[in-house]
Structure 1
Amino acid sequence: MIYVIGFLAQVFFSARILLQWILSERAKKVISPAIFWQLSIVGSYLLFVYGWLRDDFAIILGQIISYYIYIWNLDKKHQWKKLPFIIRTLLLLTPVAAILYMLKDASAFVDQFFRNEKIPLWLLIYGSMGQIIFTLRFVYQWIYSKRKDESLLPIGFWVISLLGALIIVSYAIYRRDPVLILGQSTGLIAYSRNIYLSRRAGN
């Protein structure tokens, strides 16, 4: 059941990249469609749950950082306020509630995530580094888009995506995690192609 949640999250993430790629190929330039951000928030929500159930801090960390950037982009695309108030409230508060729950017993939190016998500390650090790099693409995207006052996916976003994905795939292979392997491997071609489209368009 845990893997079902993880694979479902990766379906949403893979779908966002596939649709963005198809729409960009049609436009002959890299675009940032609203559907990309809608699928992102659903996938992130599910992967957050998956990481919690797998006791994998590296996965959780990646979702916490990018989650609210997805919401900002949805707002820039004029999609956020179209959602019912109850859903917006649930989406906004769930990560906060989960973080508070994790931190209510700090020692148990450290034991659960940082002293996990299933994951050596060096591997946890390596996996977390991959997630941080992978997630920084959204921090970069947010800063870049904020300066332009619109939701964009610049070439730097795709370069960081490619680097982070390569680290995560190697981490996932060591962890024998089929969810991460499948989810990240499928994006490598799309990231490379978006870099090519961005360079060709002079972005």
Structure 2
Amino acid sequence: MIYVIGFLAQVFFSARILLQWFLSERAKKVISPAIFWQLSIVGAYLLFVYGWLRDDFAIILGQIISYYIYIWNLDKKHQWKKLPVIIRTLLLLTPVVAILYMLKDAGIFVDQFFRNEKIPLWLLVYGSMGQIIFTLRFVYQWIYSKRKDESLLPIGFWVISLFGSLIIVSYAIYRSDPVLILGQSTGLIAYSRNIYLSKRAGD
């Protein structure tokens, strides 16, 4: 059941990349479609649950940081306010509630995630580093887009994506995590192709 949630999350993440790639190829330039951000939110929500069930802090960390950037981009695409208020409220509050829940007993939290016998500390640090790098692409994208006052996916986003993804794939291989392996591997070609499209367009 846990893997089903994880695979479903990766389906959404893979779909967002494939759709973005397809639409960019058709436009002959890198674009940032609203569907990319909609699928991102759903995937992040599911992967957050998966990470929690797997006692994997590295996965959780990556989702918490980028989650609100997805919402910001949806708002820039004028799609956020089209959602019912109850859905928006749920999406906004769930991560906050989850974080508060995790921190209500810091000792148990540390035991569950940082002293996890299933994951050696060095591997947890390595996996977390990959997730941080991978997540920083959205921080970079947000800063870049904020300056341009529109939702964009610049070349730096794809370079960071490629680098972070390679770390996460190696982490996933070591952990024998088919969800992460599948999810990250499918993106490698799309990241490379978007870098090519960005360079060709002179971005």
Same fold, TM-score > 0.5, yes or no = yes
Question: Alignment identity in percent?
Answer: 94
Aligned-residue Cα RMSD (Å) equals 0.2
CA-CA distance at 1:8 after TM superposition: 0.2
Question: What are the ranges of 5 or more consecutive residues in structure 1 without an aligned counterpart?
Answer: none
CA distance in structure 2 between the aligned counterparts of 1:136 and 1:126, rounded to whole angstroms:
15
CA-CA distance at 1:89 after TM superposition: 0.2
CA distance in structure 1 between the aligned counterparts of 2:190 and 2:98, rounded to whole angstroms:
32
CA distance in structure 2 between the aligned counterparts of 1:35 and 1:175, rounded to whole angstroms:
31
1:153-172 deviations in Å (ceiling 9; x for gaps): 00000000000000000000
CA distance in structure 1 between the aligned counterparts of 2:97 and 2:166, rounded to whole angstroms:
31
Would you identify which runs of 4 or more consecutive aligned residues in structure 1 move more than 3 Å? none
CA-CA distance at 1:128 after TM superposition: 0.1
CA distance in structure 2 between the aligned counterparts of 1:146 and 1:98, rounded to whole angstroms:
27
CA-CA distance at 1:49 after TM superposition: 0.2
CA distance in structure 2 between the aligned counterparts of 1:61 and 1:17, rounded to whole angstroms:
21
1:130-188 deviations in Å (ceiling 9; x for gaps): 00000000000000000000000000000000000000000000000000000000000
CA-CA distance at 1:82 after TM superposition: 0.2
CA-CA distance at 1:21 after TM superposition: 0.2
CA-CA distance at 1:52 after TM superposition: 0.2
CA-CA distance at 1:64 after TM superposition: 0.3
1:63-92 deviations in Å (ceiling 9; x for gaps): 000000000000000000000000000000
CA-CA distance at 1:98 after TM superposition: 0.4
CA distance in structure 2 between the aligned counterparts of 1:168 and 1:108, rounded to whole angstroms:
26
CA distance in structure 2 between the aligned counterparts of 1:57 and 1:100, rounded to whole angstroms:
15
CA distance in structure 1 between the aligned counterparts of 2:65 and 2:98, rounded to whole angstroms:
14
- Alignment of 1:101 with 2:92, yes or no, is no
SS of equivalent to 2:125: helix
Count the aligned residue pairs.
Answer: 203
CA distance in structure 2 between the aligned counterparts of 1:4 and 1:112, rounded to whole angstroms:
22
CA-CA distance at 1:121 after TM superposition: 0.2
CA distance in structure 2 between the aligned counterparts of 1:55 and 1:108, rounded to whole angstroms:
12
CA distance in structure 1 between the aligned counterparts of 2:113 and 2:172, rounded to whole angstroms:
17
CA distance in structure 1 between the aligned counterparts of 2:162 and 2:57, rounded to whole angstroms:
21
SS of equivalent to 1:118: coil
